[in-house]
Amino acid sequence: MPSIPPLRVVQWATGAVGGYAMRNLITRPEFELAGVLVYDPDKVGHDAGELVGLGTVGVTCTDDVDQVLAMDADCVLHMPLPASYFGGDPATDLETICALLSSGKNVITTTGFVYPQAYGPGVVDRLESACARGGTSLHGTGINPGFMSDLLPLALSGLSDRLDHIYVRESSDYRGHPSRQIVADLMGFTRTPKEYADAVRPFRAYQRSLFTESVQLVTSTLGVVLDEIEESDEFELSAEQFEIAAGVVRPGTVCASRWIFTGLVRNRPFMTVECVYKADAERVPRWAAPGFAVHIEGRPTMAVTIDEVSHGLAGAAAHAVNSIAAVCAAPPGIRTILDLPLATGRGTARLA
């Protein structure tokens, strides 16, 4: 019986999540690392395996987008920071993804696009046209959104004969997150309130677009038409000095934030997503402890809690990697979590 050739995959960006993904691509036999796109000039020219501590693998990192577009590959794992972080037009991510799709490469992205329909027919038409030109598919994924705030509530809804309110909560501890770009520059931790107000603007826009997609994916699937989606956020200041992987949190600087996104029907909340981010959960008692919770109010009422996800970044990367085969096998077009088989880690299962 002839062996199945490995799927050739490009890793686009090698930050905290991208690094985990690339380790998977290098170590799993069903994949072949076809190329690596990096943003850091210091990484250009380095062997991809050396970047993640795996030794030489014979794939050299590049920052040449045209070179990546010309590569022969089945899929691109698109995992950069959002374009808005760099002060650019948020539409840049859309343009990049369309170019990749048009070049004949399927795309799995963690920058959003879990439900592009939330942006209206213009964005959907551009993506579908790019998929048609390349004969490719697009899938947006991650942990939240991509699993906790959309796939899990929808799975639980199958046990309901009446839904009154869906509530999803994520609380994350960033104590060990290594990226100062994300923790300080994007999320605003370690910043004074004034610095935070300036720094968090791109993050606020990104959060709103990301969770608007997730809320609309769930509600539209359930046949619920929302009147609007409200968003609010607040932050907490530290009373003491402490160190985290991304820097030093000093007294009077931002050490946590809380975001709430609510889909309203006739001025009543139908779906609420609460996101709590803490620089160090042991130092910030306010708001919920780390973990995930899903509450379905209706008949029956249900609650599911996950007390801990020890390596959230690895989980986000794994969900994307475990989706590659299904996305590559799917017909051309936008593919949400509802269009694909549930991604599993069976390819890397280890038994004691």
Q: What are 346's two structure tokens? A: 């069976």
Give the closest residue to 140 by CA, choosing from 310, 308, 294, 343: 343
pLDDT at 352 (0 to 100): 40
pLDDT at 107 (0 to 100): 98
Q: What are 80's two structure tokens? A: 């950069």
pLDDT tens-digit profile, the chain (352 residues): 567 899 999 999 998 899 999 999 999 999 999 999 999 999 999 999 999 999 999 999 999 999 999 999 999 999 998 776 665 666 889 999 999 999 999 999 998 899 999 999 999 999 999 999 999 999 999 888 888 899 999 999 999 999 999 999 999 999 998 888 889 988 999 999 999 998 888 888 888 988 999 999 999 999 999 999 999 999 999 999 999 999 999 999 999 999 999 999 999 999 999 999 999 999 999 999 999 999 999 999 999 998 877 777 888 899 999 999 999 999 999 999 888 887 666 444 444 4
How large is the greatest C-alpha to C-alpha distance in the chain, in angstroms? 66
pLDDT at 3 (0 to 100): 74
Do 170 and 149 touch, CB atoms closer than 8 A? Answer: yes
What residues contact 322, with CB distance under 8 A and at least 6 apart? 343, 344, 345, 347
Do 9 and 35 touch, CB atoms closer than 8 A? Answer: no
Cα(279)–Cα(238) distance, integer angstroms: 10
Task: Specify the pTM.
Answer: 0.91
pLDDT at 347 (0 to 100): 47
pLDDT at 349 (0 to 100): 42
The DSSP annotation for 120-146 comes to: -HHHHHHHHHHHHHHT-EEEE--STTT
Strands (E) located in 207-325: 228-237, 242-244, 247-249, 254-265, 268-278, 291-299, 302-306
Do 333 and 128 touch, CB atoms closer than 8 A? Answer: yes
pLDDT at 217 (0 to 100): 95
Q: What are 129's two structure tokens? A: 């046209």
What domains lie within the chain, and their CATH numbers?
7-141+314-348 (3.40.50.720), 151-308 (3.30.360)
Tokens 């994007």 correspond to what residue? Answer: 186
Do 204 and 331 touch, CB atoms closer than 8 A? Answer: no
pLDDT at 343 (0 to 100): 65
pLDDT at 147 (0 to 100): 87
Sheet containing strand 61-62, strands side by side = 61-62, 31-37, 7-12, 75-78, 106-109, 137-140, 333-334
Do 147 and 319 touch, CB atoms closer than 8 A? Answer: yes
